[in-house]
Structure formats: structure tokens, C-alpha cells
């Protein structure tokens, strides 16, 4: 796989669909259950994102306007975790790719900026979306502010109530944030009628955001994970990591750990390495680290399912716990999704990626260890990858290279750490 990369900053996104040994099963229309046609998505997405969603082209050029925004924080740092290594007494070498340097504090702007720009090119004036912990909502709010659009966000109730700072961040960027389920949509009212005390779920919030977008010609919907074009945009993470490791004298990591909820951070970090495994004979192992409270990969079924509670989104073949599954109100709100991205699911199904479930207690213990050794407070989502990597590193072989995806910082999530201090 010859990667077009300028210095350390990628000029193209990488599409793993081009190199899968078997095609990704196509999305299906929720009504007809026939393969989705591009025109079926035009009420939600701009044409170029639809093309990317269905593309099998290996590399897709990053628009110059998007690259100029990326340059405000990209390339993000690849850091040798030497203090963590000493704390563990490991014989391995640990690196982490740190996405918390973005203006929103996570990896989410990598796709938010791209989605907002493509929508702005088509004349869209407003975007709707859902968010869990709030990192995606804040990132889309940021991106919309940069390209002259407004944004309306439905945030899962448990996170809306426990993480007010993300909501404030969205409002600073000029967006509106609602607790989901809400009484503003039919989907929200239906859920509240069945269970007024529900903690909410991403599936519910998606239904609300899609409903509002579908009702207006000048409004589109944006999704922060799961879909193919989102996985595509996030590959700037892994493409940079490949180049940065080479600069550090490492041809390939032995093991790559990424947290897994909908799949975007994990895909962004790992897909370029999986592509090298498939095309160059590399042998990096990839581990998806999900919460034990929402074990989509490790306990879900690989089958077609809808992405939202109301059943208005396309049916996708993925590992799923069922669209009606409501996860416990764990602190890692960004990982509370019933399904896994179809491309990530396909990689797991083909044996190109493994999955592991991490308890919340182990995740936060690892987060504290990381903060006290490396100085960065990881986002609660990222602690799952840290925990799995720490456990692996304790028994690592001499010189073995371990790569962790640190998908964001936890500065706005500090109350989540309180119970573990």
C-alpha cells in the first residue's frame, strides 16, 4: 500500500474498503431491505459524502480547505510513554497517538470539519446530530462555526445531566444542545411515553436528530461514528502514526489498542495498519477495547440491524446488541452505542481485528495510572484502550512495540474520576 503523505500530514484519506479480501456487506433500505441507492441518502447527506460512503477507491484526496483547518493541530503528537513503561516495569516499548490536542479535545474534529465543509459547499445552513459524552457534539459545533452554519445537538440524557461542560462548549461555539429523549420530536415523545425515567441512548438521540433533518430541505444530518465516510476521515490518525513510527525507527507496532464504541477512533488509528497487513505483509495485531457494560463486539451478534431506536436509518451489517438496548449510564458516554461500525465489524468478522471488554473500574484505574505517570488525563473512553494495553504490557516481550490510541483528554470529564480517587 503506497501511502500519499506529505511530510507527516496526509494529503489523502485511506479507504480500507479497497483492500478488504471480501467486500463490506452493503447497507439496506429500512423499508424495502434492498441495497441502498445513493439517492436514498440525499435527504440526509451532501452528494460528496454519499459518494465517499459507497466508495471502494483506496485513497481520497483531502480538500485544501479541510487540510488548512487540520493544520491548526495536525499532525497530532506520537509520544513515547517512557514514564508509564517505568511504572509498569515492562520490557516493551509503549507509544500513544494523542488526539486531545484538537480544539475540541478529541479526535472528532477530523470528521466534523470534513462533514461541515462538504455540507457548506452544497448550501446547507444547519446540521443536526446526536452525541453521547459530548465530544462529537462539541466538535461539530466547532466545525459549523468555522463554515458559517448552525448546529442542533441531541445529547444522551445521562451525559447531558452529568457532563454540563460539554454542553457549555457547544453553546460557546454557537450551537444548541437538547437532552435526549426530548419532547421536541415524535421519536423522543414516544420513548418518554414508554419510559419517562430513561437514561437515554445514542440510538434514541440519533432518531431525534434524523427526524428533524429529514423534515427540512436546508438541514442535513451529521454522524460522528459508524458510517464508512466517518471511518475514512479518521484515518489521518493512523496515516500519521505510520510515518511517525518510522521516524522513531519502528517499521510497525506489534499491537495496536484503540477504544471502541461506534468505531471511529479505532478505525482511524488501526485501518492504515490493517491495510499494511493486507498489502505489504505486515503483522500488527489490532485490539478493539470496549466497555464491559456495552460489549458489542465481544457479546453482540453479527447481523443486519438499524442504527436508531425508531428504525429510520439504513440497516447495516454489524455487531449489535439490538437497537433497543439501553446501556447502563457508564461514565464513558461515547462508548454507549448498541452497534459497531460496519467496516470495523467486517474487520472483526474476517479475523483482522480482535475485541476485548474492559470493566469501568479497570478503565479508570488505568486512567489514573496514565495521568500520574504521563501527565495527561485520558478521556474516559480512552482509558479502556489504556487498560487493555497496560495489562498486555506487563507481560510484553523484550522490545515489543505497543501503540495506544489516546482519543481525547478528560479535562471536561474530571467528575467521572471522582469515585476512583
**Taking 60 as the threshold, does the pLDDT of residue 3 lie above it?**
no
Average pLDDT, the chain: 93
Tens-digit pLDDT profile for residues 373-401: 999 999 999 999 999 999 999 999 999 99
Other beta carbons within 10 Å of 199:
20
pLDDT over 70 for what percent of the chain? 96
DSSP strand pairing (93-98 vs 78-80): antiparallel
Read off the pLDDT of each residue in 282-289 and give the average, rounded to a whole number: 98
Which residues touch 382 (CB under 8 Å, ≥6 apart)?
A: 259, 367, 405, 406, 407, 408, 410
* Grid cell at residue 249: 525507527
**Taking 60 as the threshold, does the pLDDT of residue 51 lie above it?**
yes
Closest to 127 (Cα-Cα) out of 111, 144, 139, 110: 144
Other beta carbons within 10 Å of 280:
12
Closest to 202 (Cα-Cα) out of 167, 235, 153, 147: 153
**Taking 80 as the threshold, does the pLDDT of residue 7 lie above it?**
no
Q: pLDDT band for 97, please (50, 70, 90 cuts).
A: very high
Which residues touch 54 (CB under 8 Å, ≥6 apart)?
A: 38, 228
Distance of CA 39 to the CA centre of its chain: 26
Which residues touch 107 (CB under 8 Å, ≥6 apart)?
A: 99, 234, 237, 264, 265, 268, 407, 408
CA distance 82 to 77: 15
Q: Is the peptide bond before 46 cis (omega within 30 degrees of 0)?
A: no
Report yes or no: 403 and 270 within 8 Å, Cβ to Cβ.
no
pLDDT at residue 330 in the model: 66
Helix (H) or strand (E) holding 247: helix 236-247
pTM, whole model, 2 decimals? 0.94
In this structure, is the dihedral angle defined by the CA atoms of residues 229, 286, 299 and 157, taken in order, positive or negative? negative
* Grid cell at residue 154: 441531541
SS3 213: helix
CA distance 74 to 240: 9
* Grid cell at residue 188: 423522543
76: alpha, beta or left? (left if phi > 0; alpha if psi -120 to 50) = beta
Closest to 389 (Cα-Cα) out of 98, 81, 108, 133: 81
CA distance 171 to 53: 30
Tens-digit pLDDT profile for residues 205-248: 989 999 999 898 889 999 999 999 999 999 999 999 999 999 99
CA distance 308 to 227: 13
Measure the CA angle with vertex 401, ends 399 and 403; round to 5°.
Answer: 155
pLDDT over 90 for what percent of the chain? 83
CA distance 116 to 69: 12
Window from 95-109, 255-269, 297-311, 329-343 with minimum mean pLDDT: 329-343
* Grid cell at residue 152: 442542533
**Taking 90 as the threshold, does the pLDDT of residue 201 lie above it?**
no
pLDDT at residue 213 in the model: 92
Q: How many helices (H) and strands (E) does the chain have?
A: 17, 16
**Taking 80 as the threshold, does the pLDDT of residue 32 lie above it?**
yes
Other beta carbons within 10 Å of 312:
17
pLDDT at residue 334 in the model: 63
CA distance 340 to 262: 5
pLDDT at residue 4 in the model: 41
Higher pLDDT: 332 or 371? It is 371
SS3 389: helix
* Grid cell at residue 78: 506520537
Which residues touch 359 (CB under 8 Å, ≥6 apart)?
A: 291, 292
Is the domain 65-106+229-420 a CATH 3.40.109.10 member?
no
**Taking 80 as the threshold, does the pLDDT of residue 138 lie above it?**
yes
**Taking 60 as the threshold, does the pLDDT of residue 24 lie above it?**
yes
Which residues touch 372 (CB under 8 Å, ≥6 apart)?
A: 87
Distance of CA 378 to the CA centre of its chain: 15
Higher pLDDT: 3 or 404? It is 404
pLDDT at residue 1 in the model: 47
* Grid cell at residue 267: 478505525
Amino acid at each position: 500500500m503506497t501511502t500519499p503523505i506529505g511530510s507527516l500530514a496526509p494529503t489523502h484519506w485511506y479507504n480500507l474498503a479497497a483492500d478488504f479480501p471480501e467486500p463490506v456487506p452493503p447497507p439496506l433500505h429500512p423499508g424495502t431491505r434492498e441495497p441502498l441507492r445513493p439517492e436514498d441518502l440525499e435527504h440526509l447527506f451532501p452528494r460528496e459524502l454519499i459518494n465517499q460512503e459507497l466508495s471502494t477507491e483506496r485513497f481520497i484526496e483531502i480538500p485544501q480547505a479541510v487540510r488548512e483547518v487540520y493544520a491548526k493541530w495536525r499532525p497530532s503528537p506520537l509520544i513515547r510513554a517512557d514514564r508509564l513503561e517505568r511504572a509498569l516495569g515492562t520490557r516493551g516499548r509503549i507509544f500513544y497517538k494523542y488526539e486531545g490536542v484538537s480544539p475540541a479535545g478529541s479526535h472528532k474534529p477530523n470528521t466534523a470539519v470534513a462533514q461541515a465543509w462538504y455540507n457548506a459547499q452544497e448550501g446547507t445552513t444547519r446540521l443536526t446530530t446526536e452525541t453521547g459524552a459530548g465530544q462529537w457534539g462539541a466538535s461539530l459545533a466547532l466545525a459549523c462555526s468555522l463554515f458559517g452554519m448552525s448546529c442542533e445537538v441531541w445529547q444522551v440524557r445521562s451525559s447531558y445531566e452529568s457532563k454540563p461542560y460539554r454542553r457549555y462548549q457547544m453553546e460557546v461555539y454557537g450551537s444548541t444542545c437538547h437532552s435526549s429523549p426530548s419532547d421536541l420530536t415524535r421519536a423522543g415523545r414516544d420513548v418518554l411515553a414508554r419510559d419517562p425515567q430513561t437514561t437515554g441512548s445514542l440510538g434514541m438521540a440519533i432518531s431525534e436528530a434524523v427526524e428533524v433533518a429529514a423534515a427540512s430541505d436546508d438541514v442535513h444530518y451529521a454522524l460522528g461514528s459508524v458510517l464508512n465516510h466517518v471511518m475514512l476521515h479518521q484515518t489521518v490518525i493512523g496515516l500519521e502514526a505510520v510515518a511517525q513510527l518510522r521516524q522513531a525507527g519502528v517499521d510497525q507496532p506489534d499491537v495496536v489498542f484503540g477504544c471502541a464504541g461506534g468505531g471511529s477512533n479505532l478505525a482511524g488509528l488501526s485501518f492504515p495498519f490493517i491495510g499494511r497487513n493486507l498489502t505489504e505483509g505486515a503483522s500488527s495485531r489490532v485490539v478493539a477495547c470496549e466497555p464491559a457494560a456495552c460489549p458489542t463486539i465481544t457479546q453482540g451478534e453479527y447481523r443486519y440491524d438499524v442504527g436508531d431506536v425508531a428504525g429510520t436509518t439504513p440497516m447495516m451489517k454489524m455487531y449489535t446488541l439490538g437497537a433497543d438496548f439501553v446501556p447502563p449510564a457508564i461514565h464513558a458516554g461515547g462508548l454507549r452505542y448498541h452497534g459497531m461500525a460496519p467496516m470495523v465489524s467486517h474487520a472483526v468478522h474476517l479475523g483482522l481485528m480482535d475485541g476485548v471488554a474492559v470493566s469501568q473500574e479497570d478503565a479508570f484505574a488505568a486512567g489514573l495510572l496514565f495521568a500520574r505517570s504521563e501527565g495527561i488525563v485520558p478521556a474516559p473512553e480512552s482509558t479502556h484502550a489504556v487498560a487493555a494495553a497496560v495489562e498486555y504490557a506487563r507481560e510484553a516481550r523484550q522490545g515489543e512495540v505497543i501503540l495506544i490510541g489516546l482519543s481525547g483528554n478528560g479535562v471536561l470529564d474530571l467528575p467521572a474520576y471522582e469515585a476512583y480517587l
